[in-house]
Structure 1
Amino acid sequence: MLTHPKPYSGLKASLLTQHGKESVICPQLLDSNGLEVVHISGYDTDELGTFTRDIPRYGSQLDAARKKARVGMELSGSMLGIASEGAFDNDPYTGMLAWNYELVVLIDDIRKLEVIGFFGGHAQSTSRQVSSWDELNALLSEAQFTTHQLVVRPDDEYHPECRKGIKDLESLKEAFDWATNLSKKGNVFVENDLRAHTNPTRMANILKATQDLSRKMNSVCPECESPGFWITERKKGLPCSSCEAPTNLPIANVWSCVKCAYKKEEMLLDQIKADPSKCDYCNP
């Protein structure tokens, strides 16, 4: 990695969001990169997809982020655009926990390149079908209500009508009664509101993805001096300290440029030999 005096310092970028993401993205990129990020409104980003499933997402997670960045650039006339997009799934370790993947992209039309920050971590994403107010009350601690807001809809998760952004007991009771009256069987579906401004756990993950983007923006290719020079591959094969056979532990990182074809392999000097417990031959 080539050190460089902040290649984006003194420049401006647009950020299109209607869910409060500017509160974490703008200060981070200004402090770490010297980039002034200007919040852009005037476009309903829900048109590109909603977590409440009423509007399907525009393409992949990255497609949606790129679209937001481009719209923000068009509205502001900027050559630099920032946007973020989240996704939710089961965790990659046990497959049993809710997991949040956050992506923050920089589109740079000055240098004709794109840099992507990423983070995956715990999600606050509880959902349940309930049939009484007592059942709903028992769920509130798990859903971290009221610090995290809720969505309520009649029947099940597929009902077309819902109430979003529920943040206090009075509003929750009103939404519960509304959903119960519309329900065919008296059931109500309750879930965490996953929009960034209603879900502090997700907002913290967006900050971490922005920090990842920030580091990549300040990492410059030794060959062409383009920002975004970062690790794209971890080579496996660290030899076992007992039998010398290659293991699945990393032995080197491969750094790549987002603009030119330059790559650099960097040996992990602190990883000299693998413990035999990590070896398929010594510990099959």
Structure 2
Amino acid sequence: MNYQQFFHNRVAILATMHHKEKAIAPILEELNIQIIVPQDFNTDIFGTFTREIERPGTQIEAARLKAEKALELTGENLAIASEGSFAPHPYIPYLYSNREIVILLDKENDLEIIGEELSLETNFNHQIAENFTEAYDFALKVGFPEHGLVVSCQESPKDSSEIIKGITNKEKLLEAVNWALNNSPDGKVHLETDMRALYNPTRMKNIAKATQNLVNKIKSQCPQCSTPGFEITERIQGLPCEICATPTNLLLCVVYQCKKCGFSQEKLFPEDREFADPAQCMYCNP
């Protein structure tokens, strides 16, 4: 069965309140999935970037919970949800990264497929300011007003009454800064980028890339049972040096596995090269 037959003309509930359908729906069109966004679906209960509500579990667990809740509320059997995180890049020091995941839950076919994107393209940042000039300088540095800002009275707000979100013009920023200065226990303003998708076009682009990764995984079908989501589960290093054949830290092969039937398959030389440059060899270039 072709992957398109799994999803053709089906309805998928997109668990979002932050307009993520703008990034996700156009890409899923090629699967002929009809995207519906439920009304009054509060995704903030699954955690907020501004920390007043803690995320339940891991990034993937939170996305899964959103999708499951959307199915529960609507009675449908296909759901899409996404979740983002921002942290120092795992391999590149001193730079923040944005990891986006988009999860597809298909109860009809008992499938869970996850698309991912890890990007250095993010304006994620925060700063303490003592006056409006400092606050506005920070705003311009992080892409304001196209990208929204958050202002709070303290670094770790206890609830939403201590935060003003979605600031997208200079007048609102001035009001928020004055409010924070008047209510802050230390007389300082705590500013951060608003990382919600509808206020952050850079993040929205990364969500689109994660959605495309999801579609690519759906198109990858198990050679044995044809189930979509035949994806890489293991990466094995050891590509031999072109001169001395010593194994290097570069990728030698990857292992694909089907979540449904368990069939696995190795693919040699996934980066289309059979030998490593001697400059990457610890023996030739210690």
TM class, shorter-chain normalised?
Answer: over 0.9
Give the conservation status (yes or no) of the 8 Å contact 2:3–2:218. no
1:165 — aligned with what? 166
Aligned-residue CA RMSD in angstroms?
1.6
Q: State the shift of 1:97 in Å.
A: 1.5
**AA in 1 matched with 2:126:** S
Distance 1:230 1:153 in 2: 42
Distance in 2 (CA, whole Å) between partners of 1:119 and 1:64 is 17
Distance 1:4 1:104, change over 3 A: closer
Deviations 1:148-185 (A, max 9, x none): 00000124344641100000000000001100001223
2:73 corresponds to which letter in structure 1?
A: L
TM-score, reference length from structure 2: 0.94
Q: Is the aligned partner of 1:263 residue 2:264?
A: yes
Q: Distance in 2 between matches of 1:4 and 1:130?
A: 53
* Cα deviations by residue, 1:119-151 (Å, 9 ceiling, x for unpaired): 011221121001011211221221110010000
Shift of 1:73: 1.0
* 1:24 match: secondary structure: helix
SS at match of 2:93: coil
Q: Is 1:104 aligned to 2:102, yes or no?
A: yes
Measure the CA separation in 2 of the matches of 1:153 and 1:170. Answer: 16
| Alignment check: 8 A CA contact 1:103 1:118 kept | yes
Q: Which residue of 1 aligns with 2:192?
A: 191
Structure 2 Cα separation of the partners of residues 80 and 159 of structure 1 = 35
Shift of 1:225: 1.1
1:234: Cα distance to partner? 2.1
For residue 135 of structure 2, give the secondary structure of its aligned residue in structure 1. helix
Cross-structure match for 1:273: 275
* Secondary structure in structure 1 of the residue aligned to 2:37: strand
Separation in 2 of the partners of 1:237 and 1:131?
Answer: 53
Look up the match of 1:208: 209
What is the aligned length?
A: 282
Change (3 A) 1:125 1:220: same
Question: Which digits, 9 at most, give the CA deviation of each residue in 1:199-236, with x for residues without a partner?
Answer: 11111110000000011112111111111011222221
Aligned counterparts of 2:219 and 2:5: Cα–Cα separation in 1: 6
Secondary structure, counterpart of 1:7 in structure 2 = helix
Q: Which whole-Å CA distance do the structure 1 matches of 2:125 and 2:4 have between them?
A: 44
1-structure distance, mates of 2:155, 2:71: 39
Structure 2 residue runs without a partner (length 5+): none
Provide Cα deviations, 1:75-126, integer angstroms capped at 9, x if missing partner. Answer: 2211111100111101123231221110110111111121000001122112
TM-score, with structure 1 as normaliser: 0.94
Matched, 1:236 2:237: yes
State which drifts further: 267-276 or 181-190.
267-276
CA distance in 1, matches of 2:163, 2:77: 38
Match of 1:134 in 2: 133
How many Å separate the matches in 2 of 1:97 and 1:128?
16
Match of 1:19 in 2: 18
- Report the counterpart of residue 251 of structure 1 in structure 2: 252
Give me the whole-angstrom Cα distance separating, in 2, the residues matched to 1:235 and 1:185: 52
Unaligned runs of 5+ in 1: none
Partner residue of 2:79?
A: 81
Q: Secondary structure at the match of 1:239?
A: coil
Which residue of 261, 274, 285 corresponds with 1:283?
Answer: 285
Q: Distance in 1 between matches of 2:71 and 2:155?
A: 39
Structure 1 counterpart of 2:255, one-letter code = V
* Structure 1 contact 126–142 (Cα < 8 Å) conserved: no
8 A Cα contact 1:57 1:64, kept in partner: yes
Contact between 1:252 and 1:265, CA under 8 Å: does it hold in 2? yes
How far 1:30 moved relative to its partner?
Answer: 1.3
- What fraction of aligned residue pairs are identical, expressed as a percent? 42
